[in-house]
Structure 1
Amino acid sequence: MKPYLLLLVALLLSGFSFAQEIPARWDELVASDFPKALEKSSKTCILPIGILEKHGPHSPIGTDLIHVREWASRAVKSEYAVVFPDYFYGQINEARQQPGTFALPSKVIYELLEATCDEIARNGFDKIVILNGHGGNPEFLEFFMQSLLNKRHNYAVYLYRPENDPDYAAEYKKLHKSPINGDLHAGESETATLLYYRPDLMRMDRATNESGADQKRSDLPGLYTPIWWYSSFPNHYAGEGDKATSEFGKFITDHEIASFIKALKEVKADNKTIPLQNEFYDRVDKLNK
Structure 2
Amino acid sequence: MKNFLLLFAVMLLSGFSYAQQLPARWDELVASDFSAALEKSSKTCILPIGILEKHGPHSPIGTDLIHVREWAAHAVKSEYAVVFPDYFYGQINEARHQPGTFALPSKVIWDLLEATCDEIARNGFQKIVILNGHGGNPEFIRFFMQSLLNKRHNYAVYFYNPEGSDKEYAEQYRKMHKSPMENDQHAGERETATLLYYRPDLMKMDRAESQSGDNQHRSNLPNIYTPIWWYAAYPNHYAGEGAKATPGFGKFIAEHEIATFVQALKVIKADTSTIKLQNEFYDKVDGLNK
Q: Could you state the TM-score of these two structures normalised by the residue count of structure 2?
A: 0.98
Residue of structure 1 in register with 2:277 after alignment: 276
Q: Which runs of 5+ in 1 are unaligned?
A: none
CA offset digits 1:255-283 (Å, max 9, x no partner): 00000001000000000000100010011
Aligned partners of 2:172 and 2:253: how far apart in 1? 10
Counterpart residue type for residue 153 of structure 1: H
CA offset digits 1:83-137 (Å, max 9, x no partner): 0000000000000000000000011101100000000000000000000000000
The count of aligned residue pairs is 289
Residue of structure 2 in register with 1:203 after alignment: 204
Residues 67-82 of structure 1: matches in 2 within 5 Å? 67-82=67-82
Counterpart residue type for residue 15 of structure 2: G
Q: CA deviation at 1:2?
A: 3.5
Moved more, 8-17 or 209-218: 8-17
Residues 140-289 of structure 1: matches in 2 within 5 Å? 140-164=140-164, 165-289=166-290
Residue of structure 2 in register with 1:94 after alignment: 94
CA offset digits 1:29-84 (Å, max 9, x no partner): 00000000000000000000000000000000000000000000000000000000
Counterpart residue type for residue 279 of structure 1: E
Aligned partners of 1:13 and 1:280: how far apart in 2? 49
CA offset digits 1:127-175 (Å, max 9, x no partner): 0000000000000001001000000000000000103222111110110
Aligned partners of 2:167 and 2:140: how far apart in 1? 28
Counterpart residue type for residue 43 of structure 1: K
Counterpart residue type for residue 174 of structure 1: K
Residues 109-120 of structure 1: matches in 2 within 5 Å? 109-120=109-120
Q: How many percent of aligned residue pairs carry the same amino acid?
A: 79
CA offset digits 1:224-282 (Å, max 9, x no partner): 00000000000000000000000000000000000000100000000000010001001
CA offset digits 1:200-244 (Å, max 9, x no partner): 000000000000000000000000000000000000000000000
SS in 2 for 1:45: strand
Q: CA deviation at 1:7?
A: 2.4
Aligned partners of 1:262 and 1:29: how far apart in 2? 24
Aligned partners of 2:270 and 2:264: how far apart in 1? 10
Moved more, 15-24 or 235-244: 15-24
Q: CA deviation at 1:20?
A: 2.1
Q: CA deviation at 1:5?
A: 4.2
Q: Could you state the TM-score of these two structures normalised by the residue count of structure 1?
A: 0.98
Aligned partners of 2:192 and 2:41: how far apart in 1? 32
Aligned partners of 2:233 and 2:284: how far apart in 1? 47
Moved more, 14-23 or 203-212: 14-23
SS in 1 for 2:175: helix
Aligned partners of 1:2 and 1:225: how far apart in 2? 78
Aligned partners of 2:227 and 2:55: how far apart in 1? 20
Residues 33-44 of structure 1: matches in 2 within 5 Å? 33-44=33-44
Q: Which runs of 5+ in 2 are unaligned?
A: none
Moved more, 123-132 or 161-170: 161-170
Aligned partners of 1:163 and 1:139: how far apart in 2? 16
Q: CA deviation at 1:13?
A: 2.0
Q: CA deviation at 1:4?
A: 4.3
Residue of structure 2 in register with 1:124 after alignment: 124
SS in 2 for 1:46: strand
Aligned partners of 2:178 and 2:5: how far apart in 1? 58
